[in-house]
Amino acid sequence: MDMKKTLIIIAALLSLSSCHFLEIEKVGKSDIETYFSEITSLEPAIYGVYSLVQPVYDKYMNMYPSLAADEIDLSATSTTWAYYYNFMRTSSDEASMLGYLWKYGYNVINNCNQIIEHAPKLREDYPHDADLVDRVVGQAYFVRALMHFELVRCYGQNYTFTSDASHLGVPIVDHVLGLTEKISRNSVSAVYKHIVSDLRTSLEKYPASYNPSQYFASPIASKALLARVYLYMEKWQEAYDMAAEVMAAKTLTSRANYVDMFCKTASVSDDEGLFRLNGYKQGRSSRSFYYYESPEGRPSEKVTSLYTADDIRASLMTYGTYGKVCMKFCTTDETTQDEMKYYNATVIRLSEVYLIHAEAAAHLGKNSEALDDVKALEARARGVDASEISFSESDVLKVIAEERIKELCFEGHRFFDLSRRHEDIERPSTTSSTVKHITYPDWRYVLPIPQVELSANENITPNPTSNE
Amino acid sequence: MSGVVTDESGEPLIGVFVFQKGTKNGVSTDLDGKYSFAAPKEGSSYVLVFQYLGMKTEEVTVEKAGEINVTLQNENSLAEAVIVGAYGTKQSREDLVGSAFQVNSDALKDKPKTRMDTLLDGLVPGMTIESNTDAAGSTRTRFETRVRGDASLSASNEPLWIIDGVIQYTGDKNNQMPGMSYTVSPLSYLDPSDIESITVLKDADQVSIYGANGANGVILVTTKSGGYNTPLRVNASVRFGVAAPDYTTMFKMMNAEQYMVVAKEAWTNAGYDMKDFPLQDNDYNSYSTTSTDWAREYLGLGTDLYAQIGVSSGTKKASNTTSASYYRNTNVVQSDNSQRFTVRMKQTFKPVDQLTIGVGLSGSYNINNLFPLGKQYLSTLPVFSPYENDGYTYRLYNRLWDAEKGDWVMKKFYDNEVPTRELNDNRQTTGVTKFNANFDWEIIKGLSVSSTVGVDYQSSHEDIYYSRETLDGQSDGQKVGSSSKKDASYLSFTNSNLVKYRHSFGDHSLDVYGGLELHAQSNKYSYISGSGFTNDHIKELEYASTISSYSYTNVNQSRSMSYFLRGQYSYDHRYYFSANFRRDGSSVFGKYSRWGTFWSFGTSWNIHKEHWFDSNRITMLKVKASFGSAGNSRIDGSVASGTYQYGDSNSYMGVSGAVLGTMPNPGLSWETTLQFNIGARIELKNILAFEAEYYNYNTSDLLSKVYVSRTISDDRLYANVGCIRNQGVEFNLTTYNIHRKDFSWTTTFNASHNDNKITKLYNGVTTSFGSTVWKEGYSTNCYCLIRWAGVDPSDGSPMWYDADGNLTKTYSYDNRVAGRTSTPFFFGGMVNDLRWKNFSLSIQLNYNIGGWAYASYAHNYMADGYDITGGNQAVEVYYYRWTTPGQSALFPKVMQTSQHSTLYTDRFLYNKTNFNIKNLTFTYSMPENVVKAIKMRSMDLSFVCDNVYLFTPGMSRKFNSYKTVMNGYPVTRTFSLSINIGI
């Protein structure tokens, strides 16, 4: 045997094991580029996004805006929320809402950015599936806007805190970031501008035929959210127009189905929801927070005292013999099957759009039009004709504010309604909180930026006072 | 002078070194085994030495010139002088450049037959084997093996195990077996009697050739093979042992009487009313009269049975060995047992002289019935009974007074593990198949190619069943029974191909090999569970009323590919130079850092071979040094390439979704350890052999998770963040104290010191984990605790020192200071072998000096009355507690609600100094004439005692000390008798 042959054999052995040997497909995981190389990946990616959005509301946004304001009496045994109820949270409380909302919020945004970034290539590679790509991308833009909106209203002061909204908001993340990028906080005005632009883009992206159920982002959801954003910006005309557009396209849930809209797992036939989060197999922290058998938070007197006896909405504030409980997060058609014990969180629904319309109209001087919107909701709630209800036009803003509590309590509005209207927080005297009153303006209207972020990214400015 | 040197079969031996003793006059034999040697001047007699690797060295006294033919004998076992090296190479200790320590079968033969790694405890300098926890939880303790300290923060610190050239999977980075609920180590599936030698490779010269996985040391296990030209030999042995817990090593808790005193006092001190005391006698529980010693309910005698038979034989062209063994162990934790059946065959064929073909095949079947007794054996209240008042029905509830309800409540008695033990199943059955095939072909003189293919396949099945009669098997009070099944298979494939070249010219000799290695590891898991059984006899899920929707299968794979080259040059057996180079690719790492390069250089100098060195006493004097790099790739495989995760956990409306898993981190690269080693060895003929080594290892690019801005990633990301230095010294000394025909006494002693320090961390940021901390300038095993300042005699309240050293009575987590470490100052072992006529005695003592342990049992059970109605506490709480003002007490006032006195404080640090008589073996070998008369080759009878006694400072009959907190369960002492026969 000569050496040549041996060397050939060895060479053959070496070449056999080329570098492909080291390429392994990871099961259940694939690298990002591989994942987005196929069109079939796009739909699961947006479903994944919704599964990440749900906890933002379930764990935090269904409680915080109510309990930081005056809608909730917190149980003395509640440990998770006591710091928020008493405004004692500090930036090092990372294992609570202020850490998680930041973390979850940006994680959702990063997921949306992956979709938005990879979509153009897929659209090019799969021209027949252009509609699918557009519909997913439209939803990604909507969710990205929604998360920026939640972040900016929690960590930043309200839009009109400074006259030009130049005060600090949150970082805008509009592309996939590199590991070394150090991003800083944008002004509130820039963030709102970006939100509006994302919502507008979503409307451009949705294909004409796209009309999904209320559990997905949709053109009407984008418009409704736009209306809300304009309201926060006090761009009354835009809010008024946008709300009108939504109202023209949708009808309110009937009185008969009103309670079921919250208390049944299956959606009612005339559900007025514009964007809701389906709770099937998702977390249900809100349910246990409000659960009637042992609620952590009960509706405060400030809410319950507003309803008249015939108001159907009052029946969502109590259940059986359990006293004052909020029934917007527990279903009453539960089976023993554990996975059927869920609720669907409401992010935005038509009644809110009526009230946006009303508030914008009032600011535009159209008081009677504004009161008509309120009357429509009151009439449904009380089962009477709108003509039987009368309000004084001079009280129009107060009427709307009160109606917003009656209609939208526990749905993530109260705290931000107070701050955007520059109102104080005035809790009922019976509150167990150490804080009974906060005079606007105050840094307690915003959450401290979590310490993890401050340590990892020196470009982030902490919120004053609350980050002392 | 001339002649032919042959082996036992008459085959000529090539390259035998023939030299005149005490000089450097020497030659090597040629292709025909011939040598010719210029005899020194006529008339004087001299000694010719014939030396060949793997053969016994022959010395022949030459009176006059002429022809002398010599036959060299095979060394029966790999004698101490031959050290197994990487890729099956063998090196004589004299030629060794690097640091490798070998333990041969002789030193292992009387060790417990349970598992392979613990055998080495105390025998190898620089190597520690410790259980991963000091608390109860698993009766199959996981051991952490460390060679020269911890070199990594987040990747594995475990050494690489290679058995007969095939990489042995030992679990994940913490030695946990993924896919199983309870880990049974794969190292327990092999019969330790099959081991010929275990070599621990320690320095760069030895481990660089293993590149990416070498940084934590490499452990090479070589199994026994038969020899050529050997007659058929049979070895058989039977060993039976009785095991009992050494109760002096068990943590001491209060008895029922002491407990009641302390519990009531703690209750009152907390400001509660005694009428609300939960443990008041009632018709269901009579607390005042119950006194249960829970440990005795669970612990008792165990047994150990081992039987083995081995046959080996060899012809001129083939050799083979076959063995089979059975091992059964019943643990001192009752109802916990294991069985192992093994069969092994190894054959080598030599059709022509240039070609060797070998095959090895072994299988093992293992049954492990687990009773993973938890801390309940200590903590369950002594005033509870395992049985109902009838004395035999298992107690599932206790009736306690509930002050809030103002009524008696039936509280579930989860702590009662007696029904769990008797009624539930927890069984693992594992089949292991290992095979390897190899050939070695010398194409032309000096040049050979060889190849090894090895597969190690392990398949485990786990049955866990919760009986309808236990609380685990009940749901909302309904008897349902629940069953879960897990399957896992682990496949390790190794292929290595080598080209070797060996050449000598004049005084120069060169030994080079290079090659390619491929390794693949593939683990597959599945899980299914369900509940709802009509009775406890049917436990299969086909008959369950509900199958849980949480079922899964999964697979985890990794691969690596490596090129390597090693060269060693020596001049005149005096100067040695070696170099290693290895390039490793791993699927674990990202595209941009997939390949890592490792290298090393070494040199050694045999001073005793110098012309000017003339000593008959000193048979070896050698110094050596090496420097080089090795890596560590054993971290989670998905960290480098960013991932998208698809699955049910991210479903929406029941439709599976996908989310961003990890952000891509393409720059992530290997942890690299630069290793520097120097050593010296001296051997004085028939007096001693002493070896000392110093090493300094620096690991850089440490992988650890660091926080990044949440706007980039929602989780911490792996990054290469810091550096660790390990430096230490190791000594190994063998002394031949007495060396006479009928009496000999040999002592082997080793001592090691390792100093471990984090030299750099990401941005210098300290990371703390409760009681421990990673801090620059401190050890990786550094504790971070609040300094205890004792008890205020006036009111019995706890006192601490704050971070600045001032006395404080306020508890604060921020008062923790980094300080003591768990790393011992010195550790090692000593073995004494004595032989008198046919009797021999061997005693092994392991020791550990210095280092601190933050004992779990101490900080759990010396709880100063905190929640005492929930669990029993240590005996010290009774004796040391503060009771009256002015009393200077060791422990604070007991209180049901006191909780700060036990948190993160250094009052629970124990000095780890201990001396452990690990093993004592007394053997009687039958005299040869007796054995021959019954037609046998040999017969030995041995009495073995394992874990004879343990000494720690401050040990006491009444109180706890390091002795009682160092292990989760009391130490098992085993007395065995064994008989070995050879035919």
Residues 6+ apart with CB under 8 A from B918: B121, B122, B829, B844, B845, B846, B946, B947, B948
Q: Is the pLDDT of residue A455 over 60?
A: yes
**Residue A19's pLDDT is what?**
54
Q: Which residues of A touch B518 (CB under 8 A)?
A: 17, 21
Q: Residue B543's CB: how many other CB atoms inside 10 A?
A: 15
Q: Does A4 touch chain B (CB under 8 A)?
A: no
Q: Give the dihedral sign, CA B279/B285/B286/B291.
A: negative
| Contact call for residues B712 and A102 (beta carbons, < 8 A) | no
Question: For tokens 């994680």, what's the residue?
Answer: A107
Which token pair is B662?
């990890």
CA separation for the pair B453, B674 (Å, rounded): 31
**Closest chain A residue to B707, measured at CA:** A456
Kindly state the greatest CA–CA separation across chain A: 110
Residue A462 lies in a domain: no
Q: Does B586 touch chain A (CB under 8 A)?
A: yes
Q: Which residues of B touch A450 (CB under 8 A)?
A: 710
Three-state secondary structure call for residue B420: helix
Q: Does B303 touch chain A (CB under 8 A)?
A: no
3-state helix, strand, coil in chain B (%, to 5): 10, 50, 40
Q: Are strands B160-163 and B218-223 parallel, antiparallel or unpaired?
A: parallel
Most B CBs within 10 Å: which of A22, A108, A183, as the mutation test of the B interface? A22
**Residue B37's pLDDT is what?**
77
Which range marks the domain in which residue A57 is found? 3-73+87-330+351-456
pLDDT digits (tens, 9 = 90+) for B9-44: 677 777 778 878 767 677 878 878 888 877 766 666
* Nearest-5° Cα angle at B345, B342 to B347: 170
CA separation for the pair B527, B484 (Å, rounded): 7
pTM of the model: 0.80
Q: Give the dihedral sign, CA B704/B706/B712/B713.
A: positive
| Contact call for residues A362 and A418 (beta carbons, < 8 A) | no
What is the DSSP secondary-structure string of B490-552?
Answer: EEEEEEEEEEEEEEEETTEEEEEEEEEEEEEEEEEEEEEEEE--SSSS--SGGG-SEE-S--E
CA separation for the pair B780, B150 (Å, rounded): 7
Residues B123-149: b if buried by 16+ CB within 10 A, e if exposed: bbbbbbbbbeebbbbbbbbbbbbbbbb
3-state secondary structure chain A: CCHHHHHHHHHHHHHHCCHHHHCCCCCCEEEHHHHCCCHHHHHHHHHHHHHHHHHHHHHHHCCHHHHCCCCEEECCCCCCCHHHHCCCCCCCCCCCHHHHHHHHHHHHHHHHHHHHHHHHHHHHHCHHHHHHHHHHHHHHHHHHHHHHHHHHHHHCCCCCCCCCCCCECCCCCCCCCCCCCCCCCCEHHHHHHHHHHHHHHHHHHCCCCCCCCCCCCCHHHHHHHHHHHHHHHCCHHHHHHHHHHHHHHCCCCCHHHHHHHHHCCCCCCCCCEEEEECCCCCCCHHHHHHCCCCCCEEECHHHHCCCCCCCHHHHHHECCCCCECCCCCCCCCCCCCHHHCCCCEEEEEHHHHHHHHHHHHHHCCCHHHHHHHHHHHHHHHHCCCHHHCCCCHHHHHHHHHHHHHHHHCCCCCHHHHHHHCCCCEECCCCCCCCCCEECCCCHHHCCCCCHHHHHHCCCCCCCCCCCC
**Residue A336's pLDDT is what?**
66
Residues 6+ apart with CB under 8 A from A95: none
Q: Are A460 and B657 in contact (CB < 8 Å)?
A: no
Instruction: Report the amino acid identity of residue B843.
Output: I
Q: Does A263 touch chain B (CB under 8 A)?
A: no
For residue B256, the 8-state DSSP code is H
CA separation for the pair B193, A421 (Å, rounded): 83
Instruction: Report the amino acid identity of residue A195.
Output: I
**What is the rounded end-to-end Cα distance, in angstroms, of chain B?**
41
CA separation for the pair B181, B144 (Å, rounded): 19
| Contact call for residues A58 and A285 (beta carbons, < 8 A) | yes
pLDDT bucket at A10, cuts 50 / 70 / 90: low
Residue A463 lies in a domain: no
**Closest chain B residue to A181, measured at CA:** B712
**Residue B712's pLDDT is what?**
86
**Closest chain B residue to A54, measured at CA:** B652
Q: Are A32 and B644 in contact (CB < 8 Å)?
A: yes
Rounded to a whole number, what is the distance in Å from the CA of B476 to chain A's nearest CA? 13
CA separation for the pair A204, B218 (Å, rounded): 62
Rounded to a whole number, what is the distance in Å from the CA of A454 to chain B's nearest CA? 8
Q: ipTM of this model?
A: 0.88
C-alpha distances in Å from residue B215, one per residue of A415, B631, B688:
57, 5, 31
Which residue from B559, B643, B714 is facing A32, i.e. has the nearest CB?
Answer: B643
C-alpha distances in Å from residue A109, one per residue of A52, A156, B313:
10, 18, 71
Residue A244 lies in a domain: yes
As to burial, measured by CB atoms within 10 angstroms (0-12 exposed, 13-18 middle, 19+ buried), residue B187 is: buried
Rounded to a whole number, what is the distance in Å from the CA of A38 to chain B's nearest CA? 13
Question: For tokens 């369960």, what's the residue?
Answer: B969
Cα A374 off chain centre by: 24
Residue A8 lies in a domain: yes
Q: Does B38 touch chain A (CB under 8 A)?
A: no
Interface of B with A in 140-169 (CB under 8 A): none
C-alpha distances in Å from residue A460, one per residue of A144, A169, B287, B769:
20, 11, 61, 26
Please report, for the domain that includes residue A189, its CATH number. 1.25.40.390
3-state secondary structure B301-335: CEEEEEEEEEEEEECCCEEEEEEEEEEEEECCECC
Q: Which residues of A touch B585 (CB under 8 A)?
A: 19, 22
Residues 6+ apart with CB under 8 A from A321: none
Q: Which residues of B touch A102 (CB under 8 A)?
A: 710
Mean pLDDT for all residues in chain A: 90
Residue A342 lies in a domain: no
Q: Give the dihedral sign, CA B106/B108/B111/B114.
A: negative
Which residue from B642, B661, B709 is facing A457, i.e. has the nearest CB?
Answer: B709
Interface A-B, measured as beta-carbon pairs within 8 A, has a size of 171
Q: Does B10 touch chain A (CB under 8 A)?
A: no
**Residue A467's pLDDT is what?**
36
Considering its fold, how many domains does chain A have in total?
A: 1
Which residue from A28, A177, A281 is facing B647, i.e. has the nearest CB?
Answer: A28
Most A CBs within 10 Å: which of B453, B650, B711, as the mutation test of the A interface? B711
Give the residue ranges of chain B where pLDDT is below 70: 8-9, 22, 24, 40-44, 53-54, 74-81, 404, 590-592, 634-641, 666-667, 898
Residue A464 lies in a domain: no
pLDDT digits (tens, 9 = 90+) for B501-546: 999 888 899 999 999 999 999 999 999 999 999 999 989 999 998 8
Residues A323-358: b if buried by 16+ CB within 10 A, e if exposed: ebbbbbbbbeeeeeeeeebbbbbbbbbbbbbbbbbb
Q: Are B653 and A111 in contact (CB < 8 Å)?
A: no
Q: Does A27 touch chain B (CB under 8 A)?
A: yes
**Residue A12's pLDDT is what?**
54
Residue A143 lies in a domain: yes
As to burial, measured by CB atoms within 10 angstroms (0-12 exposed, 13-18 middle, 19+ buried), residue B64 is: exposed
Q: Are B659 and A281 in contact (CB < 8 Å)?
A: no
Residue A80 lies in a domain: no
Q: Does B884 touch chain A (CB under 8 A)?
A: no
pLDDT bucket at A320, cuts 50 / 70 / 90: confident
CA separation for the pair B450, B285 (Å, rounded): 73
What is the DSSP secondary-structure string of B280-303?
Answer: ---SS--TTT----HHHHHB--EE
Q: Are strands B807-808 and B655-660 parallel, antiparallel or unpaired?
A: unpaired
pLDDT digits (tens, 9 = 90+) for A17-61: 445 777 666 566 677 888 898 899 999 999 999 999 999 999 999
CA separation for the pair B578, B569 (Å, rounded): 6
CA separation for the pair B564, B566 (Å, rounded): 7
Q: Are A54 and B652 in contact (CB < 8 Å)?
A: yes
Interface of A with B in 325-354 (CB under 8 A): 339
pLDDT digits (tens, 9 = 90+) for A165-220: 999 999 999 998 887 788 999 999 999 999 999 999 999 999 999 999 999 999 99
Closest of B524, B198, B183, B196 to residue B370, by C-alpha = B183
